[in-house]
Amino acid sequence: MSDPAALNNPEENFDNMSVADFEERLPDLVQSGQGKMTEDPRFTTFFEKNPDCAALVRDLEAIAEAARGLFEPAEDEEPSDDLWSKIVKELPGGPSGSPQQALSLSESAPLDEPDGVLE
Amino acid sequence: MSMMNLEGLPGMQTKPNPGLFKRNPPIAGEADAIERAKNGDPDAFSKLYALHKRRVYTLCLRMLGNVSEAEDMTQEAFLHLFRKLGSFRGESAFSTWLHRLTVNLVLMHLRKKGLNLVSLEETINPSEDDAPKRDFGSRDTQLAGSVDRVTLERAVSSLPPGYRMVFVLHDVEGFEHNEIATMLECSTGNSKSQLHKARLKLRELLRNPEQLPPLAPGKEGV
């Protein structure tokens, strides 16, 4: 059971894994890239025998899933309105180093929000 | 860590990776804005700011836990972007590249402050009080299906800095363990271990949400 490659073996049998072994291997099991453990039939019997382990894994999966939802900022989460003007003040010049371009930048307000995400 | 050539760093993206674009799909008008900004078009750079300011700011805020510092680092990130945009070759999603640039700036900032939170020892060995308890708990307080955004944000902000850093980078930002290991100068195994402990600690915190501290002022809407 100590072979990490076993995690990627669809024939691997976890039915008789001990709770101690489960606990030791859990970091690899939940991060094996093989999808959710709770949806992996190789763990069905083990979870039936050890409902607390099943509850733990469900919770960890729920946390990871909820975390992915944090990637997109909340509607009202943004820097203060004057941050752009502070940035422009600090710019040494345009991307090509032209002072005129820096001046242009200072006169241009940030454009609107994203047009959208391509499908 | 040098910020001069982010795409060439060990463990960093050196070839196009379709997986990155699943997480960071191209934004309409972004590619055009990048090219125009590279050629000195000021409106194009302001468009890039508008497109990415919220994500960059939120990333800084989560990593730093401080509104004022997050604003400063957001400013620093866009100034750095302005200087380095010419080196973006489109081999990874632009937002991934920008976020990596931001993460490295924040980490450099923290190291300059002399904080231990990204040192190997502190990251890997939080104090005993901060470590998750080795307790599976009972099923009657399980979380599945009940992790709301605000409570999770509060719990994440309560994590020890080392745990929080790895959790935000992996579970929120979508970086791989090998990338995180490079950024934090630790091993891939350590990154995996930290992530697991972070999730266990979060579970512990989320099972007792009434004990979570309120979010810092200005962060209520995160």
B83-131 residue pLDDT tens? 999 999 888 889 989 999 999 999 999 888 876 544 444 444 555 556 6
Alpha carbons B104 and B6: distance in angstroms, whole number: 9
The reply to whether A9 and A44 lie within a common domain is yes
A24-33, long-range: CB < 8 A, 24+ apart: A25/A1, A26/A56, A26/A57, A26/B196, A27/B192, A27/B193, A27/B195, A27/B196, A28/A4, A28/B192, A30/A57, A30/A60, A30/A61, A30/A64, A30/B196, A30/B199, A31/B177, A31/B192, A31/B195, A31/B196, A32/A7, A32/A8
Residue A30 is assigned to a structural domain of this protein: yes
Whether B149 and chain A come into contact, CB under 8 Å, resolves to yes
Alpha carbons B97 and B109: distance in angstroms, whole number: 18
The reply to whether A55 and A24 lie within a common domain is yes
The tens digit of pLDDT for each residue in A37-83 reads 999 899 999 999 999 999 999 999 999 999 998 988 887 789 999 99
The reply to whether A63 and A91 lie within a common domain is no
The ipTM, to two decimals, is 0.74
pLDDT at B17 over 50: no
Residue A18 is assigned to a structural domain of this protein: yes
| B143 phi/psi in degrees, rounded to 5 | -95, -25
The reply to whether A31 and A62 lie within a common domain is yes
pLDDT of A4 reads 59
| Domain count of the fold of chain A | 2
The reply to whether A58 and A92 lie within a common domain is no
Residue A115 is assigned to a structural domain of this protein: no
Higher pLDDT, B137 or A89: A89
Residues 6+ apart with CB under 8 A from A114: B27, B28, B29, B30, B50, B51
pLDDT at B80 over 70: yes
- Give the mean pLDDT of chain B: 79
Over residues B198-215, the mean pLDDT reads 86
The reply to whether A13 and A53 lie within a common domain is yes
Q: Do B40 and A109 touch (CB under 8 A)?
A: no
Cβ-based burial of B108 (10 A; exposed 0-12, middle 13-18, buried ≥19): middle
Cβ-Cβ contacts under 8 Å, A32 against chain B: none
The tens digit of pLDDT for each residue in A6-46 reads 666 777 788 989 999 999 999 888 876 667 899 989 999 99
The reply to whether A96 and A41 lie within a common domain is no
The reply to whether A27 and A50 lie within a common domain is yes
Residue A116 is assigned to a structural domain of this protein: no
Residue A9 is assigned to a structural domain of this protein: yes
In chain B, the domains with their CATH numbers are: 18-112 (1.10.1740.10), 119-211 (1.10.10.10)
Whether residue B198 contacts residue B159, with contact meaning beta carbons closer than 8 Å, is answered with yes
Whether residue B148 contacts residue A67, with contact meaning beta carbons closer than 8 Å, is answered with no
The reply to whether A14 and A64 lie within a common domain is yes
Enter the tokens of residue A11. 């024939």
Task: Choose the mutation target among A65, A71, A75, A101 for the interface with B, i.e. most B CBs under 10 Å.
Answer: A71
Whether A78 and chain B come into contact, CB under 8 Å, resolves to yes
| End-to-end C-alpha distance for chain B, whole angstroms | 30
The reply to whether A8 and A63 lie within a common domain is yes
User: Nearest by CB to A70, which of B30, B70, B153?
Assistant: B153
Residue A55 is assigned to a structural domain of this protein: yes
Over residues B10-24, the mean pLDDT reads 45
The reply to whether A64 and A89 lie within a common domain is no
Q: Which of A75, A90, A79 is nearest to B61 (CA)?
A: A79
Parent domain of A43: 4-68
Amino acid at A68: R
Residue A73 is assigned to a structural domain of this protein: no
Alpha carbons A65 and A59: distance in angstroms, whole number: 10
Amino acid at B147: V
The reply to whether A10 and A62 lie within a common domain is yes
Predicted TM-score of the model (pTM)? 0.77
